Structures are given as C-alpha cells and as structure tokens.
Structure 1
Amino acid sequence: MRYLPTMLAGSALMLASGAIAQTVDEQMDGADAVTPQEEAADPTMADPGSSEPAAEKAFTDAEVSSFAGAMMELQALTGDAATKQQQANEIIAQSGIDTETFNAIGSAMQTDEELARRVRLAAAELQPQPAE
C-alpha cells in the first residue's frame, strides 16, 4: 500500500507539467507575457482570483476523490509520450475537476501530508476489492 502514494504523487507531477503548460498557453492567448520576475516585483500583478496559495487551499472531498480517480486512470496509460499526454488531458477533463485544481492538488500533496493522506484514502476506496 505504500507504493500507491508514491505512484500517485509521482504521476501527478509528471503529468501535471503538460497540463500546466496547457493552462498557461490557454491563459496567454492574446495576452502580453509577464515574466515571473516582473510579477514578483509587482504584487498588484498577482492573480486577483487566487486569494490563498495552492498549498493552503482546502480541497473538497469530491475534488480529492476526482483527483484520485484520475490518477489511477493516468497510471494505467500506455503508448508513446504524445499519446499519453493526449489521453491524460482527456482523463483530467472528464474527471470532474479543472486542470488548475488537478495541478494544485498534485502540487499541494508534496507538502501537505493531510491532503496526501486524503488522496491515498480516496484511491483505496476506488480500488476494486479482491474477491474472497
């Protein structure tokens, strides 16, 4: 059972990079690029919709469960990198949570042990039980 949290976290980070890139590309369409240094230098440039950092955001049980289910599907992907990325984007889109929330949960799991525990429990509940 210890293998599952490691796989969930590792898969989240690996696949989240593509999802993050997609989110950034979507946000940048038609917008002027702002470097991270410029944003850090001017706090008024921060996203007004995000009043709390991702690591401190409280995720609902439904979001955690959707994340865990998507991660389990993502772990089963096969094929080349491009195919996996396309399938991953589809799985995340169908998971019931948006890409930003998916990425936030994956990132927050790295530092928030309680969140990681919640994801492990949700994944365990979603796993088929062996026949007795």
Structure 2
Amino acid sequence: MNDRNNNPYKYKPLGNGNVDILAILELIGSLFIKNKYRNSEIPETISYEEFQDLFLVDSFFSEELLEKDLKISKEYKQLFFIFCESKMIEDEQLKKENQFELLNTLVSCSKEFLQELKNTKNDLKLN
C-alpha cells in the first residue's frame, strides 16, 4: 500500500494509446509539491515578543544601542520590532555566539526600515 501511495503512476490503468496530458501534468505537479520541504526543516524565526525581550533584558542589545547605533527612536521601536519579525530572522542568531551576526542583521534591517519610513513620510506629504 505504501508503494501505491509513493508511485501511483505504476497502479493506474493503461490508457488507450493516447497521451493523457492531465495525468502527465499531475505527475509533474506532484514532484514539486512533495519536494517542497523534504529533508529540510522550516527554520524558527525571531518573534516580535523575542525582540522586545531582547532589548529589555540583554546587556548588549539595549535601548541605547537601539537609539544611538541603530537610530531607531522610542516612537518607532515597536514598529521596528514588527518590521524585523517580518524579515524572518532565524532564531539561531539569538545565541550568544551569534551576537555579532544578529547585530549585523539588525543594522541592515534598521537601514531598510529607516529608508521605508522616510519614503512613507514623503509619500504622505505628496498626497
């Protein structure tokens, strides 16, 4: 029965000699669907709450770093955390040994966030 599920084309009745386009398309489609996450796990990402906790508790990732180095004002801090969550940063970067990798990622995110913020403000002024 397991072989029947893995190789359904072996158990389908033979056609009348005509090419069954739908069956071919179904087989091709099943190749893509089955292999989408095979042999790989979907990585866990850092959530909004984890970003909040990180900047509240961690001695390195502090409010000061957020404001002075990343240039994110208190006014936009929560929005920045939501933005970072949307970037789906792997939670492996929360480990102490990956601290500088996370910092680098946050620097990139802050630049992108600030640019998006600037563009949005400019768009609002034009309208």
Normalising by structure 2, we get a TM-score of 0.27
Asked which structure has the greater RCO (Cα within 8 Å, sep 6+), the reply is 1
- Which of the two has higher C-alpha Rg? 2
